[in-house]
Amino acid sequence: MRILVAEDDEALRSVLERGLKRAGYIVDGVADGSDALTYLRSYEYEVAILDWRMPVMSGIEVLRSLRRSGTGVPVLMLTARDMPTDRVVGLDEGADDYMVKPFDFPELLARLRALQRRPSDAHPPQLLVGDLVYEPTSRTVRAGGKAIGLTQIELGILEVLLQRSPAVVTRRSIALQVWQYEADAVGSNTIEVHVAHLRSKLSGAQVRIETHRGVGYRLVPA
């Protein structure tokens, strides 16, 4: 799952990116609010982490623009502004959570998981097709009540297919959501290889992954 980190402090941004990647997230990092808004309009994110003080556009300005446009991506404000009035402004402008620097990284991860658990029309708490059940927050997969072990890449592909089922998901959409750099997957047979491994591991489940040649894949009940 993909997360945006908008933070102008290069050292902190690097720490956040490394820690989130170790936790299994795909991370895009930007240094100013204008780039953050461009990324948020171009890609689908599970959560956006915004610093308040950024060049070009502040995190609050980015947040206001998102909410005016009707974009419902969950936003966690991560900022040194620790006055109660700052928290009120951030939450009233549409932030879903608010953390003050310095922060504890395990708590940040817990807050991200909490945001992911919040129900929405686009991403329900559980993703279900056939007898396959996927829990996005714990990243666990079960079929017929039995756990299925998948790699991070396989989990990412399955999550995208489940979210869009029964629609066909293009190879580019899969690459954007699962790989840090989409060209690494689109320009080779990397996606095909991982889909083949995923099919093998799901062979006992009541689902099937259909290939739509030249377009992409879709997941449907068997």
d(CA 184, CA 190): 8
Is 5's pLDDT higher than 90?
yes
Question: Under a CB-based contact definition with an 8 Å cutoff, are residues 157 and 185 in contact?
Answer: no
- The whole-number average pLDDT for the span 88-94 is 90
Query: Which amino acid, residue 154?
Result: E
pLDDT, position 30: 95
Question: Under a CB-based contact definition with an 8 Å cutoff, are residues 151 and 196 in contact?
Answer: no
Name, of 159-163, 198-202, 214-218, the range with top average pLDDT: 198-202
pLDDT, position 121: 46
Which ranges in 43-181 belong to alpha helices (H)? 59-68, 84-92, 105-117, 152-164, 171-178
DSSP assignment of 141-173, as one string?
A: EEETTEE----HHHHHHHHHHHHHTTS-EEHHH
Residues contacting 39, CB < 8 A, separation 6+: 4, 28, 30, 45
pLDDT tens per residue, range 186-206:
667 889 999 999 999 999 999
pLDDT, position 61: 94
Nearest to 79 by CA among 7, 155, 167: 7
d(CA 75, CA 65): 12
Give the lowest-confidence range in 29-38, 63-72, 105-114, 145-154: 63-72
pLDDT tens per residue, range 104-146:
999 999 999 888 877 554 455 678 899 999 987 677 899 988 9
pLDDT, position 220: 94
Question: Under a CB-based contact definition with an 8 Å cutoff, are residues 134 and 141 in contact?
Answer: yes
Is 22's pLDDT higher than 50?
yes
Is 77's pLDDT higher than 90?
yes
**Half-sphere exposure of 12 toward its Cβ, with a 13 Å CA cutoff?**
17
pTM (predicted TM-score): 0.62
- The whole-number average pLDDT for the span 43-49 is 89
- The whole-number average pLDDT for the span 4-32 is 93
DSSP assignment of 193-215, as one string?
A: HHHHHHHHHTTTSSEEEEEETTT
